[in-house]
């Protein structure tokens, strides 16, 4: 009897040691989550698996059936089994290339990334199917598969050519992020010094052509001025495929309240990111201090990499990086709801675009979404609002973009052009 009590106590202590987000979900709560996500597909706005497959796996799409991370030095957050465990019903696969890759080289690299997505879908026909419309997403989800969509992560990827934009759309791309880390020929980035103070005339032409096609205008990574210009210029709702609330963490990648206030009239959606660096203001400040210390050591110990490494490790031991829990993701979701409303929020985890240690416990894999829903249920969310968050809002945005495109069907394709910047071989 004493041994039984000992084992029960040991089990209880073990559970206390596990972060709340990692504990099993109550059966009734899980049943409720399952019911919601059977009726409404959970659609994530941004997953960087294609980049991982290019950078670390030789462009191969093999070995992704179940939990096979394949390389311990580059573990993946995504495979078919974990997509099902996470109840994912739709996924935008990012076709990312660095901002430094420009001109015709950018177009070629983007086509290669699109090819990875299309090969990925073809390799797992029982799990994935390419979707082009909101109706496709619902049909594919009803068939028990993950509707797979393509997002182009940066306006530099069209190489200044609207013909390239149209070609990407024809290949399945359903959003384009107007910038990435750097300004491009037509729009300012959130993480670069202003050049255009928003969109220039060609940028407005890009937005117009995206409206004509039915391609969603993605404002993650852009400056607040670009956000405002794009919302004003776009006839269709915009999205932020993977961004958080700037009022909670003053990272330039996040969305300020004055922009959130514009979303109800526009109909757009902020799809909340799981990256600790965007979620946590203490972590953002720690990261800046960490970078400053690294730069200081680089100056003090030039040519002495082992000493620099040891000194930085000492600093890290004395200045432990702040951690983020799953509740912080829920906080950002609820702030967006407070300012913009339940109709203007979604999910865009940025998984496989961030490291395993860079997301709250339990949220560093596509299997983690039910944990977030359980947290919101604990906070009193209704089934209807959870369904909007999961994918209902994004489906509405897509339907509206499709309707806008239909209303513009008699407009000819835009012919505005830019002289492309010199190509670079910075990414091979």
Indicate if 350 belongs to the active site: yes
For residue 321, give every residue at least 6 positions away whose Cβ sits within 8 Å of its Cβ, in sequence order, or none. Answer: 283, 286, 287, 290
Written as six digits, the tokens of 305 are: 């990499």
Indicate if 221 belongs to the active site: yes
Pick the catalytic residue: 79, 127, 129, 153?
153
The phi-psi region of residue 329 (left if phi > 0; otherwise alpha if psi is between -120 and 50; otherwise beta) is alpha
CB under 8 Å, gap of 24 or more: what pairs does 120-126 form?
120/49, 120/50, 120/53, 120/61, 120/64, 120/93, 120/148, 121/148, 123/61, 123/62, 123/64, 124/64, 124/65, 124/80
List Cα–Cα distances, 380 to 28, 36, 137, 385, in angstroms. Answer: 15, 15, 28, 10
| Residues 284/290/293/297 CA torsion (nearest 10 deg) | -150
Pick the catalytic residue: 156, 180, 332, 335?
180
Q: Which value, in Å, is the radius of gyration of the alpha carbons in the chain?
A: 22
Pick the catalytic residue: 350, 358, 375, 385?
350
Pick the catalytic residue: 44, 46, 335, 375?
46
Written as six digits, the tokens of 312 are: 């930085």
Written as six digits, the tokens of 59 are: 């462009």
Indicate if 74 belongs to the active site: no
Indicate if 244 belongs to the active site: no
- Give the SS3 label for residue 98: coil
Pick the catalytic residue: 221, 251, 278, 342?
221
Among residues 38, 14, 50, 9, the alpha carbon closest in space to that of 373 is found at: 38
Pick the catalytic residue: 44, 48, 136, 352?
48
Residue 387 has phi, psi (to 5 degrees) of -65, -40
Indicate if 46 belongs to the active site: yes
Pick the catalytic residue: 208, 242, 251, 278?
242
Indicate if 358 belongs to the active site: no
Written as six digits, the tokens of 427 are: 């990414």
Residues with a known catalytic role:
46, 48, 153, 180, 221, 242, 350
């Amino acid at each position: 009897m004493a041994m039984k009590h000992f084992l029960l106590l040991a089990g209880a202590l073990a559970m206390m040691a596990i972060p709340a987000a990692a504990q099993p979900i109550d059966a009734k709560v899980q049943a409720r989550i399952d019911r919601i996500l059977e009726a409404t597909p959970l659609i994530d706005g941004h997953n960087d698996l294609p980049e991982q497959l290019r950078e670390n796996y030789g462009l191969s799409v093999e070995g992704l059936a179940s939990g096979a991370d394949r390389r311990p030095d580059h573990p993946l957050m995504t495979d078919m089994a974990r997509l099902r465990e996470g109840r994912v019903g739709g996924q935008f696969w990012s076709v990312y290339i660095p901002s430094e890759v420009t001109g015709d080289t950018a177009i070629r690299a983007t086509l290669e990334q699109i090819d990875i997505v299309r090969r990925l879908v073809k390799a797992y026909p029982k799990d994935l199917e390419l979707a082009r419309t909101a109706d496709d997403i619902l049909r594919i989800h009803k068939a028990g598969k993950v509707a797979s969509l393509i997002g182009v992560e940066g306006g530099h990827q069209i190489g200044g050519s609207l013909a390239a934009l149209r070609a990407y759309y024809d290949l399945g791309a359903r959003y384009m992020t107007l910038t990435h880390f750097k300004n491009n020929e037509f729009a300012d980035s959130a993480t670069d010094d202003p050049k255009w103070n928003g969109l220039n005339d060609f940028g407005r032409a890009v937005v117009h052509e995206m409206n004509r096609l039915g391609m969603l205008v993605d404002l993650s990574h852009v400056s607040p001025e670009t956000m405002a210009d794009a919302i004003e210029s776009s006839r269709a709702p915009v999205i932020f495929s993977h961004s958080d609330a700037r009022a909670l963490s003053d990272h330039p990648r996040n969305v300020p309240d004055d922009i959130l206030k514009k979303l109800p009239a526009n109909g757009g959606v902020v799809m909340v990111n799981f990256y600790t660096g965007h979620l946590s203001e203490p972590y953002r400040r720690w990261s800046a201090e960490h970078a400053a210390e690294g730069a200081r050591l680089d100056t003090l110990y030039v040519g002495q990499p082992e000493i620099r490494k040891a000194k930085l490790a000492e600093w890290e031991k004395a200045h432990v990086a702040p951690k983020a829990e799953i509740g912080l993701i829920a906080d950002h979701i609820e702030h967006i709801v407070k300012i913009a409303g339940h109709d203007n929020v979604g999910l865009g985890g940025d998984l496989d675009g961030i490291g395993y240690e860079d997301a709250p416990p339990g949220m560093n894999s596509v299997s983690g979404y039910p944990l977030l829903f359980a947290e919101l249920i604990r906070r009193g969310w209704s089934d209807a609002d959870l369904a909007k968050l999961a994918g209902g809002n994004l489906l509405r945005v897509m339907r509206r973009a499709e309707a806008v495109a239909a209303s513009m069907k008699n407009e000819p394709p835009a012919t505005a052009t830019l002289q492309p910047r010199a190509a670079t071989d910075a990414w091979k």
